[in-house]
Amino acid sequence: MPGGAFDMGCFRDPEHDCGGDAAPRHTVSLDGFLIDRTEVTVAAYRRCSDAGACKTDGITTQTDMGGHPAECNGRRSDRDDHPINCVTWTDADSFCKWADKRLPTEAEWEKAAGGTERRSFPWGNDGPDGREDLVVILRLHGKSAPRGERSPKYVNTTWPVGGKPAGASPYGALDMLGNVWEWTADWYDAAYYARSPSANPQGPEQGSFRVMRGDVDEAFMRVQNRAKLAPTSRLGVLGFRCARSVPR
């Protein structure tokens, strides 16, 4: 990703509708960085586990939001190319360090997902509207987004990473929305944008929740939307990708 400035946060109009904690919109300047083109796969995570650097405890037995059973890809022999899910923030952080990388900051994630053109979605400003070529939209709690009806457009499980190339970001990053949410490096603070530094923000110094990005529900997914989760949590709809700083 090239270094430079972009507008981060909500644009506060019907075309760019997003959550209240994504305001105010502010200009952020980032140094150049690298980010994984896809989410980390089951196969990649297994290599880390085989090397003794990643834990597998709990990635096959947890429950999802609302107590619904999680579809944990790590327990399946036929999902090597699917995103690893059901991992805690520490699990994700450990993998990235093993790979000589790190989790992306929230600002890095947003720039990689939307670029510098004020896009609401990686592919532009038009919502997915159920388009199967753009994004993997998951059913939550047995219902499909956005109105709760069941439809073949919405799936119960993840897809192989990079399976929707038409939904790529301006920089070629895939599945930045849909498939799974993604952990980022930052602690969460709903009011952080009001005091965020303009250059290379790293998030609050401490907190109770970590930021996750990349919604899987069509009704709410936007590049700018933020969400929080306790770092010890595991969800079947949550994975991660890694980033790396570019030496100056």
Q: Which domains, ranges and CATH numbers included, belong to the chain?
A: 1-241 (3.90.1580.10)
Q: Sort residue 69 into left (φ over 0), alpha (ψ -120 to 50) or beta.
A: beta
Dihedral (CA of 56, 58, 61, 63) sign: negative
Cis, bond preceding 146 (omega within 30 deg of 0): yes
For the record, the structure tokens of 164 come out as: 């929707």
28 secondary structure, DSSP code: E
Number of C-beta neighbours around residue 148 at 10 A: 12
CA separation, residue 209 to residues 9, 203, 230 (Å):
19, 11, 4
Per-residue pLDDT of the chain (248 residues; tens, 9 = 90+): 999 999 999 875 555 567 789 989 999 999 999 999 999 999 999 999 999 999 887 666 555 555 545 678 998 889 999 999 999 999 999 999 999 999 999 999 999 999 999 899 999 988 887 677 788 776 554 444 444 444 445 566 788 999 999 999 999 999 999 899 999 999 999 999 999 999 999 999 999 999 999 988 777 789 999 999 999 998 888 999 999 999 87
pLDDT of res. 133: 79
Residue 83: which residues within 8 A CB-CB, separation 6 or more?
38, 39, 40, 41, 42, 73, 158, 161, 175, 179, 180, 239
pLDDT of res. 248: 73
Q: How many Å from the N-terminal Cα to the C-terminal Cα in the chain?
A: 14
pTM of the complete model = 0.90
